[in-house]
Structure 1
Amino acid sequence: MKRTNYRRRLFSYIVISSVFLSSFLLYSPADIVLSAQGDPYLEMLSPSEVTVFDNAMVEITGNISDDSTPPEQLSLRVYEKLDSNSDPIEITSEGQLRISIDAQKGNWVYSKQFNDGIHPISFVLMDAEGNSVEKPMTIIVTKEVNKEQKTVVEKQNTIVEEAPVSASVSVGTPTEINDEVVPRPTVVDVKIIPDGITDESGYLSAEDMTQVALNSKIMVIIRETGTLTYTQPLLISSNKGEIKSKEDLEGMIPKRNKDGDYVVTFTPLVQLDPSTTYYVYVNPSITNELGNRIYPKFFKFTTTNVYHIGDIHGNYANNTNACAYCHSTHNGETPTLEGGKYGASEDNFCMVCHDGTNGSPMPDKYNSTNKHNQHVAADAKNSESCTSCHNPHASWTAENPARLQSVQPTGVSHFQTLTYKKAGTATGKAEDFTLCLNCHDGKKASNIKQYYEDEAIIAESGHNITAKDGSGLDGQITCADCHETHGSNNIMLLRESLGNVKVAENDKFKSIGTVWDAVNERQFCLKCHNNTTELYGSTSTFKERNGADQLILGHQATDIEGCSTCHGGANKSMIEAAHGPKKIDPVSIQEN
């Protein structure tokens, strides 16, 4: 009997191990990356992702290209999902698809008559090697819709350069058109759940959290009244690769909380690595039963180390042991007696521990070509160094996990911790970015502060946005939407990947040279303004023609002018074009 039980248990262990290993062996990055290097390129030019038509005939335009397959050999097909319980059906032949070849790309137009109602459709492009890419969109046809209602929906899904249209659509709520609802799933909260914590008051805000325990869970709350369709809802990775969750392996279905929202929990299969930054994307392929995709969401957090016992920054005991790491009573090399166990040069001093090898994590992207800090003498008070932003004597708190410096604003009796908010928490006001604006106020560095305080500039700014993705932005976009914090391979510390989804290598921005010129400016702006990148629930547009179907000056593929030529104000300022681009009436080109 014992022998039989032993064999049975051994067989069970083999089966379980095989299932576990197969989850890694059968994993394919194609399941999670929107497009990979070498995939065909499919661009949607018009209309926007969700568009209302007041007539049955709908026309959709775009471009196609591929690195290895000529455009005439690419296969473009159109599909429609008739209901939430059926697979999409091909409707290419039900309409008219016209493709014209222009050098290395194809310009396509698809037109078809649709019945009244909501039509979740998708375009699938395949090259000769079988690589494919998909672009979804939702067409709404309602012949009774009036012009004002149509404008509300299209404005809600598009960042436009013309003057904004007033619309009474609540942030993060569905848009209603003649009782037809066009909702999208919305991320309303992200948390870190430390091991053993069951009371929600003990959960940590996930965005930019530090010292995260290695056995923590990640929780995302998604607001959706209907049914979610997804595989692997959270895509989490570090520089060591992607990690998987217990919930995905076991096929666990998210439950709803008392508010009716979905609670997605990610329990890592193995313990998180110490002193490591993790990047979290909410899977952009999540849809509701109408086929509408979730608003993109990205955040990152850093885990704790396993070497240091206690905190050498703050929480000091009644002895000088912790102080001696940085200061020396008798041998200090600076007026503040710096020159303890690890020397006195500020940044090099910090990096003795924060180099990723001695327990403390290295700052994200610190080893990039361009850095925010300069290695200078410790007594150069106006220089940029680690301590320009971080307080080495501050204790870690959940409210200030990065130990940001505190300042005493003019007219205020007490010190206030500097703020550095990102897309998940920012409102778009100057007080959200005091960490940056404390220097970038026109005195220590360039005057970026004016673009967050000057009401006249803000009123004319194309980057003044009211979010529609459930976040609280109602003002200028955040510093972190365009810039890295510690370092970047691009000049101006500009990000390579823009938006809140994983970006294919050939879609990343890579600056040329060391000077910010018209070429770099134009290429950077077009990485967002490409009719596909979505920020705060709106798609950044770049229109070649105006409403009268006239070509727009500066918006043609052959144009080389910088965006600041038109959007940089009277002085054609590149800084103004980036931080407060003026909304203008497009200048048309007279066609022959």
Structure 2
Amino acid sequence: MKRTNYRQRLFSYIVITSVFLSSFLSYSPADIVFSAQGDPYLEVKTPSEAAVFDVTTVEFTGSLSDDRTPPDQLSLKIFEKLDSGSEPIEITNDGQLKISVDGQNGNWAFTKEFTEGNHLLSFVLMDMDGKSVEKTMNFTVKEPVVEVKETLTEETIIEPVILTTETVQTAVEDNVPRPYIVDMKIIPPGVTNASEYLPAEDMTQVPLDSTIMVVIRETGALHYTQPLFVSSSKGEIKSIEELDGKIPQRNEDGDYVIMFTPAAPLDSSTTYYVYVNPAITNEFGQRIFPRFFKFTTTNVYHIGDIHGNYTNNTNACAYCHSTHTGKTATLEGGEFGASEDNFCMVCHDGTNGSPMPDKYNSTNKHNQHTDAVSKKSESCTSCHNPHASWTAENPARLQSDQKPGASHFQTFTYKKAGTATGTIEDFTLCFSCHDGSKAPNIKQYYESGTLLAESGHNITAVDGSSLNGQLACADCHETHGSNNMMLLREELGNVKVADADKYKTTGTAWDAANERQFCLKCHNNTTEVYGKTGKLKDKNTSGEPILGHQSADIQSCSACHGGAKKSYMDAAHAPKKAIYLPEQANP
């Protein structure tokens, strides 16, 4: 027996000595140079501290990152302290833990069924160097309740919804922790074939008695009062469905179909803004990903289209060209003159069925599109083709680009949040000028592999959108004009904000104050774009305040995120991801 113990001890000594020697031999000064800068970063986003649940299955979400260790190689473990006199026990494998990677950052979700009463959890994150960080969370589970919705009509009765483990588990397995939009359409009157529905985004010539359709994907029940906010410059409008208390039905895919039929006819030549109510939640309290689109109405629909019907009626040419009084080589001008903007605005002033361009600002030339070379304002035909016919694929009649050697014209593209994929092909209209030829070179941020790899705005959507690349131009800029410099939007994100919360530039120079306020409208740990929350860490990996990230700081964002040139153009379109070191802390 003693001989056996001796051999076991000898074998243990040999193993320990081998590990020591291998560590010593593999030592290199380079290991010090490239070691982690500090502790790993762990955040518990939901639920809030001391939350109370009336369901037994609870989901925790958060983010994690580390200077050296990739997110998928970090070790996250969850422990529960059952009582004050016992040691915490690990419960990681008792629930379901999922970690998703987004570049150098990661998001995590942990779901587990708990008993009734108070609970104290510890979330411990460890990197490859053995450094760790711990976050604690206490919460209370009450007895599960059965939810019974009100009967909204005599004909329609909703069955009680019982919160069970199976419904939560299904949502987790399908990776759909929150409701999201899968489709948005406009249905013209009399159209019953789904293939003839109109795309919702930026649609023009929408009939006045059209219906809006929004499809929401959610495996469980939805909770809301008003699903859609639809408004114009004249105020908000209501739907027949809401006033009658109609309940959305599920389609063959199990998705909720929200119908919005205006209770009164829409106004002609008017732009309407549609926001999905961000307060919509599922039965577990998870909010819907916000979405937004707009459309413009007309009192005619494919009939009497002034633009593009010249082959059928050449008399329509006389709307713009005057044979005997034209002032230009193309016989434009006549009674109203040949100034192109004024020429178009004779009709496009909201009368005669022609819509006023959205956000058009005729009094502030500083805030309109301007040729950087000639310093002159761009005209309507810089982007629009007045001779093109209306189509659902090109409702704004965008200009076409004939590439060298091509046998036909290729229509320019200008996609927004609902359809953009984030590639250079989505914004060929913008890049026809913003390639350095007539305006600053923004195209480089969408085609340079180096800039794309460094860009903090190169993201993959998680809200059901198709974006998997750079942010769409329209996420930050208005097309026809703005009250801000550089055509910057007043409302950022996909939610409607109060006037006090809108972004407003001050003065006529782009300075640190304007830049900070613009960036912080999204990077405030609250605003969501494509399902991603704009983050703003106030402390570095050592727990010290980050210089420039404090409420009293005045530094420009481009000072750290604008690359070597500290360029605001770089910071806005391809912000460099900074590593916050102790020396970047406030004194």
TM-score bin (small chain): 0.7 to 0.9
How many Å separate the matches in 2 of 1:425 and 1:308?
24
Aligned amino acid, residue 486 of structure 1: H
The residue aligned with 1:9 is none
Point out the more displaced range, 528-537 or 578-587: 578-587
Q: Which of 437, 448, 459 lines up with 1:465 in the alignment?
A: 459
How many Å separate the matches in 2 of 1:327 and 1:590?
66
How many Å separate the matches in 2 of 1:271 and 1:189?
24
Q: CA deviation at 1:225?
A: 0.7
Aligned amino acid, residue 82 of structure 1: D
Contact 1:314/1:394 (<8 A) preserved: yes
Q: CA deviation at 1:479?
A: 0.5
Distance 1:335 1:488, change over 3 A: same
1:375-399 CA-to-partner distances (Å, cap 9, x unmatched) read 9xxxx99961100000000000011
1:118 is aligned to 2:55: no
Greater relative contact order (CA < 8 Å, ≥ 6 in sequence): 1
1:510 is aligned to 2:451: no
Q: Please list, as runs of the form range in 1=range in 2, the aligned pairs for 1:354-369 lying within 5 A after superposition.
A: 354-367=348-361, 369=364
Q: Which of 268, 273, 278 lines up with 1:274 in the alignment?
A: 268
- RMSD over aligned Cα atoms: 3.2
Contact 1:328/1:339 (<8 A) preserved: yes
1:144 is aligned to 2:95: no
Give the match's secondary structure for 2:206: coil
The residue aligned with 2:54 is 82
The residue aligned with 1:292 is 286
1:49-99 CA-to-partner distances (Å, cap 9, x unmatched) read 447xxxxxx75xxxxxxxxxxxxxxxxxx764424xxxxxxxxxxxxxxxx
Contact 2:182/2:217 (<8 A) preserved: yes
Give the match's secondary structure for 1:334: coil
Contact 2:211/2:261 (<8 A) preserved: yes
Distance 1:179 1:417, change over 3 A: closer
Q: Which of 452, 461, 464 lines up with 2:446 in the alignment?
A: 452
Q: CA deviation at 1:591?
A: 6.7
The residue aligned with 1:210 is 204
How many Å separate the matches in 1 of 2:380 and 2:176?
47
Point out the more displaced range, 438-447 or 351-360: 351-360
1:372 is aligned to 2:319: no
Q: CA deviation at 1:328?
A: 1.9
1:489 is aligned to 2:483: yes
Point out the more displaced range, 347-356 or 327-336: 327-336
Q: Please list, as runs of the form range in 1=range in 2, the aligned pairs for 1:139-218 lying within 5 A after superposition.
A: 144-145=91-92, 152=99, 163-165=104-106, 183-218=177-212
Q: How many residues align?
A: 459
1:562 is aligned to 2:534: no
Distance 1:200 1:487, change over 3 A: same
Contact 1:255/1:263 (<8 A) preserved: yes
Distance 1:334 1:241, change over 3 A: same
How many Å separate the matches in 2 of 1:319 and 1:118?
64
The residue aligned with 1:243 is 237
Distance 1:374 1:358, change over 3 A: farther
Contact 1:324/1:340 (<8 A) preserved: no
Aligned amino acid, residue 517 of structure 1: D
Give the match's secondary structure for 2:570: helix
1:573-592 CA-to-partner distances (Å, cap 9, x unmatched) read 01110000011211334577
Aligned amino acid, residue 279 of structure 2: S
Aligned amino acid, residue 492 of structure 2: L
Q: CA deviation at 1:183?
A: 1.3
How many Å separate the matches in 1 of 2:244 and 2:411?
43
Query: Which ranges in structure 2 are unaligned for 5 or more consecutive residues?
Result: 1-41, 62-77, 81-89, 110-167
TM-score (norm 2): 0.72
Q: CA deviation at 1:167?
A: 9.4
How many Å separate the matches in 2 of 1:267 and 1:329?
46
Q: Please list, as runs of the form range in 1=range in 2, the aligned pairs for 1:179-578 lying within 5 A after superposition.
A: 183-305=177-299, 310-317=304-311, 319-340=313-334, 342-367=336-361, 369=364, 370-373=366-369, 384-410=378-404, 412-578=406-572
How many Å separate the matches in 2 of 1:577 and 1:342?
44
Aligned amino acid, residue 509 of structure 2: V
Distance 1:204 1:178, change over 3 A: closer
Q: CA deviation at 1:565?
A: 0.3
Aligned amino acid, residue 238 of structure 1: S
Contact 2:540/2:585 (<8 A) preserved: no
Q: CA deviation at 1:179?
A: 6.7
Aligned amino acid, residue 339 of structure 2: S
Q: CA deviation at 1:554?
A: 1.6
Q: CA deviation at 1:311?
A: 1.3
1:385-420 CA-to-partner distances (Å, cap 9, x unmatched) read 100000000000011000000001345442111111
How many Å separate the matches in 2 of 1:178 and 1:484?
37
TM-score (norm 1): 0.72
Q: Which has the larger radius of gyration?
A: 2
How many Å separate the matches in 2 of 1:342 and 1:403?
23
Aligned amino acid, residue 575 of structure 2: P
Aligned amino acid, residue 261 of structure 1: D
Contact 1:116/1:141 (<8 A) preserved: no
Aligned amino acid, residue 466 of structure 2: G
How many Å separate the matches in 1 of 2:375 and 2:515?
33
Aligned amino acid, residue 566 of structure 1: C
How many Å separate the matches in 2 of 1:213 and 1:492?
33
How many Å separate the matches in 2 of 1:141 and 1:290?
23
Aligned amino acid, residue 473 of structure 1: L
Contact 1:209/1:301 (<8 A) preserved: yes
Distance 1:219 1:116, change over 3 A: closer
